[in-house]
Amino acid sequence: MNPPIKSALALANGAESAINYVADNFVAKVKKITGGKGVKVVYDSVGKDTFDKSLGCLEPFGLMACFGAASGPVAPFAPGILAPKGSLYVTRLTLFCHITTRERTQAMCG
pLDDT tens-digit readout, 8-34: 999 999 999 999 988 999 999 999 999
Report the CATH number at residue 59.
3.40.50.720
> How many structural domains are present in the chain?
1
Question: Is 88 inside a domain boundary?
Answer: yes
Give CA–CA dist 43/62, Å, rounded.
Answer: 11
Question: Is 9 inside a domain boundary?
Answer: no
pLDDT tens-digit readout, 23-77: 999 999 999 999 999 999 999 999 999 999 999 999 999 999 999 999 999 999 9
Question: Is 35 inside a domain boundary?
Answer: yes
User: Which has the closest alpha carbon to 91: 51, 62, 64?
Assistant: 64
Domain span at residue 92 reads 25-109
Question: Is 70 inside a domain boundary?
Answer: yes
Q: pTM for the full model?
A: 0.84
Question: Is 20 inside a domain boundary?
Answer: no
